[in-house]
Structure 1
Amino acid sequence: MTIRQHLKFWIIATVVFLAILVLLREILLPFVLGMAVAYFLDPVADKLEEKGMGRTSATSLIVGIFLLITILAVVLLIPALADQLIGLVKRLPGYFQAAYDLIVPLLSRVVDIPGLDNGGDFRKVLSEQATSAFKNLGSITTNILDQGLAFVNLLSLLVITPVVAFYLLRDWDLIVERVDGWLPRKQQQTIRTLVKQIDDVLAGFVRGQSTVCLILAIYYGVALLVVGLEFGLVIGILTGLISFIPFVGAIIGFIASVGVALFQFWPDFIQIGIVGGIFVVGQMLEGYVLTPKLVGGKVGLHPVWVMFGLLAGGALFGFVGVLVAVPVAAVIGVLSRFALTQYMDSPIYGDANDFEKLSKD
């Protein structure tokens, strides 16, 4: 086959593969989660194998413990989180009103805006924006529930995901060996190098950053709950879970928690300061301890690229797209850097000496 025929084949294969994913996106969630669990826990299975345990026994133990922890988390946390989230949504109009009553008198002393004192137009705009935000939140929630957490899908998650995770984790090394045997002989070493780089990125970001997010979610949730902040558990856990985007999770959590603390504890500045201090400690813990130890410096995923990947994945494949967005972004990032390196080493790019010779001629 010529290079053009190879290129045509891979383009057609990619298009067919993407078309199949689009057609089957409604049933992909438990399989994607099973693959993610298997990839996440593969190092644990390898260590148990090194200690003399059989692969099947190690897989059964790991998946069993993981499933038990997941079920306990769902049973114990979901009701509390749902209750706090509903309460927070109900209180939001009151927070908007309190913020309006606090900010408008201060703003009117600095800026003379017609209609600001009586608050008619301003309150109307604020109300419309809040209503629009609630509608968007409801649409997003409904979309997620429709695509990922409906009853049938939830049942499939509890049944199919552990089964997929078990078989993939048990046969992980065999699958890798089999796929490695399919690689073209001439490009085998190059492909292995690229796969190693992709695995380093995924291991650093998916495994490392997921662990960081889990630790931060527990820390923020427990700390805010201990200081008595209303809705502290849901704010803390959500803050930790979105901390894979540097600073975004902490900023959102800080604004939300300090905003609630202002209305709950005012004028107790010490209590408000303690809430703010929780996030300062959390950022120090993340920046100087967790991220260097668990993630390292070889991830190479820019926060903007991560955000774009999440939005694009969600728009194309819904909840499943959000789950696979970061791994796909990592793969594209590694391949893009490889392509750029190949270009800069090629005669097309050239070097400074070639440019000087051409200029003299």
Structure 2
Amino acid sequence: MSVRGGAGRLADSRAWPLLAAVVLGGVLIYLLRPILTPFLVAALLAYLADPLVDRLQRLHLGRTPAVVVVFLVLTGILTGIVLLLIPLVGHQIDILQRQIPALIDWLQQTALPWLQSRLGVDPGVLDLERIRSAITEHWRSTGNIAADLVARATRSGLALAGLLATLALIPVVTFYLLRDWDVLLARIHALLPRRIAPQVARLAGECDEVVAAFLRGQLLVMLALGVFYAAGLWLVGLQLAVLIGLISGLAAIIPYLGFVVGILAASLAAVFQFSDWLVPLLLVWAVYLAGQALEQMLLTPVLVGDRLGLHPVAVIFAVLAGGQLFGFVGVLIALPVAAMVMVLLRHAHAHYQGSELYNRQESQDP
């Protein structure tokens, strides 16, 4: 009994430094969150690009040249996407802002009377007239939000310098992290106690599998669905095709949410835009049903595979909790932390089911 008690106290004494390190790390993240954003964004980009660099290395290209190639290619792609999307999305937002007053008139004159006659809904529940007046009065000023933000930033030299420094840090830190990624992992592994190093490496591999399924696979699924929905809605003739497709792709980080949000928004836009809306509405539904089939039968199996992902409820809770606790920094680290917690909980559950506490049965007197 004393030996068992001594072993328990020894295990507790070994666990305390690890627990203290975890708590200290959380406190440091909380205290340093205002300056962590460029480093976390850079770490995320380096993590996503590391497999591409590894593939180039397997083609007998040095680490630094491989990083330079990947870095230049990804920078060009991201720059092109941003330069292409900014005018498109800005134009779509202008269209939406011009349509909002007319949409509210349609709701007030058509939709609410129909709901009142069929369902007994009180039209006075929503003060649509006040909403329409406010939007009509301010839509021109809201259309220049980006210009207003730039003007405010330029009026404060310190704020502008901080913003430029943050933006400049991201590519620099990304380059160095990507170049030394394997070295950093090897050094972390070398610091682990030899007794637990294999187990920690196995857990880290499982965490990487889950994180990769969301940060690599799911991001590619989101991008593909956004392009597919935008192109399909554009072929239908929807004026807000790019904006709705972009929203559908972003919402696809949670399974089925992009489909639900997108088909509702696109259906409302089609009914409002087309006077003879039945055929366009059916075409919108066909686009989203085809996108859902494409996701289930091709995109998810190929890009994500059968790797264990996070439950949709866990994704929602992780993002909201991370944002509440740590702001934008918390949103960046929410999914990786949630994936690691899920892996640890799965192992803890398996350990509990194999423990004496779970399997012990009460002795019965004969």
* AA aligned opposite 1:31: F
Among candidates 21, 36, 51, match of residue 28 of structure 1: 36
Q: How far has the Cα of 1:157 moved from its partner?
A: 5.0
Unaligned runs of 5+ in 1: none
Q: How far has the Cα of 1:91 moved from its partner?
A: 3.2
What aligned pairs does 1:257-268 form with structure 2 within 5 A after superposition? 257-268=266-277
Among candidates 293, 310, 313, match of residue 322 of structure 2: 313
Structure 1 length-normalised TM: 0.86
Rate the CA distance shift 1:5–1:321 in 2: closer, same or farther, 3 A: same
Q: How far has the Cα of 1:359 moved from its partner?
A: 4.3
Q: How far has the Cα of 1:170 moved from its partner?
A: 1.2
* AA aligned opposite 1:39: Y
Native 8 Å contact 2:315 2:335 kept in 1: yes
Q: How far has the Cα of 1:105 moved from its partner?
A: 3.0
Aligned to 2:100: 92
Aligned to 2:156: none
Among candidates 245, 261, 285, match of residue 252 of structure 1: 261
Rate the CA distance shift 1:169–1:253 in 2: closer, same or farther, 3 A: same
Distance 1:12 1:123 in 2: 53
Aligned to 1:295: 304
Aligned to 1:109: 117
Distance 1:324 1:169 in 2: 18
Distance 2:258 2:94 in 1: 21
Aligned to 2:16: 8
Distance 2:17 2:129 in 1: 55
Distance 1:183 1:272 in 2: 59
* AA aligned opposite 1:236: G
Aligned to 2:6: none
Unaligned runs of 5+ in 2: 1-8, 154-158
Rate the CA distance shift 1:157–1:299 in 2: closer, same or farther, 3 A: farther
Native 8 Å contact 2:225 2:291 kept in 1: yes
Aligned to 1:348: 357
Native 8 Å contact 1:265 1:272 kept in 2: no
Distance 2:162 2:328 in 1: 12
The answer on 1:60 being equivalent to 2:68 is: yes
> RMSD value over aligned CA atoms?
2.9
Distance 2:104 2:260 in 1: 19
Structure 2 length-normalised TM: 0.85
Rate the CA distance shift 1:188–1:271 in 2: closer, same or farther, 3 A: same
Native 8 Å contact 2:43 2:177 kept in 1: yes
Deviations 1:226-275 (A, max 9, x none): 33212211110121122010011111011011101100013232222212
Among candidates 124, 128, 132, match of residue 127 of structure 2: 124
Rate the CA distance shift 1:153–1:32 in 2: closer, same or farther, 3 A: farther
Q: How far has the Cα of 1:80 moved from its partner?
A: 2.3
Equivalenced residues, count = 342
Deviations 1:25-73 (A, max 9, x none): 1221211111111111111111111111111000001011111111222
Aligned to 1:358: 363
Q: How far has the Cα of 1:104 moved from its partner?
A: 2.7
Rate the CA distance shift 1:239–1:112 in 2: closer, same or farther, 3 A: closer
Rate the CA distance shift 1:286–1:153 in 2: closer, same or farther, 3 A: farther
Aligned to 2:171: 162
Secondary structure at 1:312's aligned position in 2? Answer: helix
Task: Name whichever of 308-317 and 152-161 sits farther off.
Answer: 152-161
* AA aligned opposite 1:41: A
Deviations 1:134-156 (A, max 9, x none): 9xxx9xx99xx99xx98556534
Rate the CA distance shift 1:3–1:93 in 2: closer, same or farther, 3 A: farther
**Aligned-residue identity in percent:** 36
Rate the CA distance shift 1:90–1:315 in 2: closer, same or farther, 3 A: farther
Secondary structure at 2:363's aligned position in 1? Answer: helix
* AA aligned opposite 1:72: G
